[in-house]
Amino acid sequence: MTQWEQTWAAAAENDNILGNISPGHIPTGFDLQRNLWCTFNKIRTSHGRCADSLHKWGMRDSPECDCGAEKQTIYHIAFVCPIHAYQGPRIYCLTTPPKFIKWLEELELDL
């Protein structure tokens, strides 16, 4: 096992929803249009342009969400927000069924 594989295997906790992937594995959703693929990966990794990040970067006055939540994080947008959240099981972020892809297409935020 390489050093990278050992480090990967030892990482017991991720604060994202990457799922069980390994080197050389082609992840689910790889065949999506590029803009959807990028948004999908921003959600899976919890990194992207959201109010909380933009506020930290000095590009926005407030980290608040449009819905009134204290912080608009990627996780909040995808799973909690009453305005933007996907209305389905989180596991769909790993399996990309048509309903989840439609939500990605209709998401009004540019993450």
Instruction: Supply the Cα-derived Rg of the chain in whole angstroms.
Output: 15
Q: Which residues of 52-90 are buried (b: 16+ CB within 10 A; e: fewer)?
A: bbebeeeebeebebeeebeebbbbbbbbebeebebeeee
Over range 38-44, report the average pLDDT.
Answer: 91
Q: 11 or 24: whose pLDDT is higher? A: 24
pTM: 0.74
Encode pLDDT of 70-93 as tens digits. 999 999 999 999 999 999 888 777
- Mean pLDDT calculated for residue range 5-32: 66
